[in-house]
Structure 1
Amino acid sequence: MDQKIVVVTGANRGIGYGLGAAFNEEGHTVLAINRTLCGENWMEEYECDLTNKDQVNDAINSIIEKYGRIDILVNNAGIRRYAPIDEISERDWNDSLLTNVTAPLWLIQKCTPLLSASNGLLLFVGSQAAEYPFVEGIAYSTTKAAFLAMSRIAIQDLRYRGIRVCYLSLGAVANRPKENDEWKIRPSDVGELALSLSKLSPRVMPTYVELRPAAPNTSAIPKMQELQNI
């Protein structure tokens, strides 16, 4: 089938919205698992708190009941909590683990049979912070490193079940465009890349793709300038 069923988490804004829009413009059916609904008529939304396993299961069960298949699963949703390693709160730490690591695992476990049946694609939308930790990034960099490790394990565990796996390592993205950030990657750029990867032959698994700004700007945030210029 040319038209694919694409499930995207956190598609109400930012990168997730850009991903959903790119697949929609290509004529695919976009099913968004969102905690906050955005009300776009081209996006079929399922209200869901990803930290609640019952809600995750209910959302996927609803998709299965209506469509009977999933061709692409995009694990995009994530949160960022910044604090020094000796000051990070237990709540911020646990919320980061649940949202950035545990919820994607729940979704993979729930969707694997459907992705296998469709010879589907599993996309991990990650960050350079996984490999280049920064000051006060204990929760974000640690969970993104675990997310990257999960993608590498998924490659090994799922490739002979007909599922291709790709991790996108993203640099600075203008999720909420502000003044003087024209140099940043746009969500639409990420969407265009993901769409292109989905068109590759089933013989090919694009396991890891890194997307960086072509000409990074400077930053007053400690260590952020270093990260931007990698």
Structure 2
Amino acid sequence: MNGGFVPVSYDLIGKTAVVTGGAKSIGKAIVERLVASGAAVHVWDRDQIELKGVVSTKVDITSRDQVTHAINMIVDRGLRIDVLVNNAGYLGTLHPFDQHEPA
């Protein structure tokens, strides 16, 4: 036994997952768990990832055109996005809090 720890797993066989920012760190761990659960995983990141069962596409998530193109690539293959993990972050230009635009 591993100290009572039971890894979380789901049956995602036949499901398509997209993970933004999935090439490194927490995103990569999420990708690995989804693959282990049987999902076909697409990673959208500025960096590429080499992992069995993963399609890695260079996507700047701040670009609506690039995101639209990446979605169309999946849909054109006859797939749908069943799981979306929006892990990528973009802070923009850093300013003191009270200087940020409310929008």
State the TM bucket, normalised to the shorter chain: 0.7 to 0.9
State the one-letter code of the partner of 1:11: G
The alignment status of 1:16 with 2:38, answered yes or no, reads no
Select the structure that is richer in helix. Answer: 1
Percent of aligned pairs sharing the same letter? 33
Task: Give 1:54 deviation, angstroms.
Answer: 0.8
CA–CA distance in structure 2, aligned partners of residues 2 and 39 of structure 1: 20
From the CA coordinates, give the structure whose radius of gyration is larger.
1
CA–CA distance in structure 2, aligned partners of residues 51 and 2 of structure 1: 30
**Deviations 1:13-33 (Å, cap 9, x if unpaired)?**
011111110010111111111
| TM-score, structure 2 as length reference | 0.72
Task: Give 1:43 deviation, angstroms.
Answer: 1.4
| TM-score, structure 1 as length reference | 0.35
**Deviations 1:144-198 (Å, cap 9, x if unpaired)?**
xx9xxxxxxxxxxxxxxxxxxxxxxxxxxxxxxxxxxxxxxxxxxxxxxxxxxxx
2:85 aligns with one of 74, 82, 92: 74
| Equivalent residues, number | 88
CA–CA distance in structure 1, aligned partners of residues 19 and 55 of structure 2: 10
Q: Counterpart of 1:61?
A: 72
In 1, are the aligned partners of 2:13 and 2:37 still within 8 Å (CA)? no
Q: Counterpart of 2:47?
A: 36
State the one-letter code of the partner of 2:72: N
RMSD of aligned residue pairs (Cα, Å) = 2.5
Q: Counterpart of 2:37?
A: 26
Name which structure has the greater RCO, CA cutoff 8 Å, separation 6+. Answer: 2
Task: Give 1:46 deviation, angstroms.
Answer: 1.3
Q: Which runs of 4+ in 1 moved over 2 A?
A: 38-42
Task: Give 1:64 deviation, angstroms.
Answer: 0.6
Q: Counterpart of 1:52?
A: 63
